[in-house]
């Protein structure tokens, strides 16, 4: 139900239990992965995930799409947090941010890094990846590999017949509304998300797709929102089976090689891809530079058009980012957040929307003010409401300042 990442002592305890799987994972590797989640190491780890876990490369191609740099003073921008006024110049350090890029009308007006990061750093996305996966589903629909979002998932994934996902439509999975029961509570060591992540990503003991299909039905499909990282795994699996390409390869083919991305990206896998059989951890773990995150956001701000070419179907951006059912309405999916939800995007009543990941990863898009903000952080906890509310307030103040300028 909640985007609450694991408290570090919990993950360390679980990894200690997993250490018994010596035949499946060498102890030194497991120890390194365990240490990656200690508070003093997270900022470094989040920049080096593909060195700690198996991954597949998403290759860039062709000329880089230049982001014209127009440095704009933003440190004095004032924003409100409760009864207190704060300034944007202090936001960066207070929020344990490793990098932040601001685009206005497609030009880069602000770029800042810390914690040893720079423009070439590949930050891990955590759940920001979910918005990329939903876009891949939209592209598969556009290509005819998926006939309709109202098709049942088992039409493309026969393995889901007889599971709780039988009869669930592609659209319902995109909306986190499958009705499948799944506890996304990272502070509880025996929660579904912890079992799923430890067994697949952390120890590579089990296949992510198979794990994702094992959870029971809790509600009728299409009636209730339940945030579920394993649900996005199902969608990544759908992309692979419908298109015949893994999510990383399809992303490379359809977007990364066509947007003039500046750097290769990587996507973490559930096992070493020696035989090409490792599966992308589709609900998380896409590692890319912030400028390239921002280019993806700019593609959405421009309604799927890039340098005069339509890459996303007309109407997809609006459909993917506007809540499409009463149970996904603004303020109703995850209080105290004011957000609504649609196709793996968080949406806001002011017209902005965002790809959001635990520990403070954002691609925030404000079409009305023509602003994109990409931010990577290492918050002290998964999703502290105070941090998230402050970030949203700061983003809005920056966008207002930029749009008011001549």
Query: Cα(266)–Cα(58) distance, rounded to whole angstroms?
Result: 5
SS3 98: strand
pLDDT-based confidence at residue 35 (cuts at 50, 70, 90): confident
pLDDT at 259: 98
pLDDT-based confidence at residue 341 (cuts at 50, 70, 90): very high
pTM: 0.94
**Is the Cβ–Cβ distance between 354 and 343 less than 8 Å?**
no
Nearest to 128, CA basis, from 242, 243, 296: 296
Q: Quick one: tokens of 379?
A: 């918050």
SS3 35: helix
Q: Is the torsion defined by CA of 156, 161, 167, 172 positive or negative? A: negative
Which class for 300: exposed (0-12), middle (13-18), buried (19 or more C-beta within 10 A)?
buried
pLDDT digit string, tens, across residues 306-324: 999 999 999 999 999 999 9
Which class for 168: exposed (0-12), middle (13-18), buried (19 or more C-beta within 10 A)?
buried
Query: Cα(13)–Cα(189) distance, rounded to whole angstroms?
Result: 8
Domains for the chain: give ranges and CATH numbers: 8-36+43-404 (3.40.710.10)
Nearest to 231, CA basis, from 187, 180, 156: 180
pLDDT digit string, tens, across residues 216-244: 999 999 999 999 999 999 999 999 999 99
């Amino acid at each position: 139900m909640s985007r609450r990442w694991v408290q570090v002592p919990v993950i360390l305890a679980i990894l200690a239990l997993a250490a018994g799987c010596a035949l499946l994972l060498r102890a030194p590797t497991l120890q390194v992965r365990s240490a990656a989640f200690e508070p003093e190491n997270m900022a470094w780890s989040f920049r080096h995930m593909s060195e700690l876990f198996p991954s597949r490369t998403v290759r860039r191609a062709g000329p880089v799409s230049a982001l014209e740099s127009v440095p704009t003073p933003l440190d004095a921008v004032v924003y409100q947090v409760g009864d207190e006024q704060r300034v944007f110049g202090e936001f960066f350090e207070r929020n344990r941010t490793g990098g932040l890029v601001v685009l206005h009308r497609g030009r880069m007006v602000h770029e800042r890094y810390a914690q040893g990061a720079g423009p070439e750093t590949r930050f891990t996305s955590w759940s920001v990846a979910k918005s990329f996966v939903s876009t891949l589903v939209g592209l598969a629909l556009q290509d005819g590999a998926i006939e309709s979002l109202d098709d049942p998932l088992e039409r493309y994934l026969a393995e889901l017949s007889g599971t709780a996902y039988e009869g669930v439509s592609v659209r319902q999975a995109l909306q986190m509304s499958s009705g499948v029961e799944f506890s996304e509570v990272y502070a509880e060591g025996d929660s579904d998300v912890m079992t799923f992540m430890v067994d697949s990503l952390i120890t590579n003991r089990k296949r992510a797709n198979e794990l994702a299909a094992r959870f029971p039905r809790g509600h009728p499909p299409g009636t209730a929102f339940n945030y579920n990282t394993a649900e996005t795994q199902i969608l990544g699996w759908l992309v692979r089976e419908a298109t015949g390409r893994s999510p990383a390869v399809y992303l490379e083919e359809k977007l990364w090689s066509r947007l003039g991305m500046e750097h290769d990206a990587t996507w973490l896998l559930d096992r070493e891809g020696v035989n090409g059989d490792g599966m992308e951890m589709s609900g998380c773990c896409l590692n890319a530079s912030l400028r390239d995150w921002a280019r993806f956001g700019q593609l959405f701000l421009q309604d799927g058009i890039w340098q005069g070419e339509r890459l996303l179907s007309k109407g997809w951006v609006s459909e993917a980012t506007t809540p499409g059912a009463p149970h996904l309405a603004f303020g109703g999916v995850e209080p105290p957040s004011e957000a609504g939800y649609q196709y793996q995007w968080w949406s806001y009543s002011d017209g902005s929307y965002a790809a959001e990941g635990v520990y403070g990863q954002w691609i925030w898009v404000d079409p009305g003010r023509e602003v994109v903000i990409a931010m990577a952080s290492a918050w002290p906890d998964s999703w502290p409401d105070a941090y998230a509310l402050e970030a949203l307030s700061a983003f809005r103040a920056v966008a207002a300042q930029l749009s008011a300028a001549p």
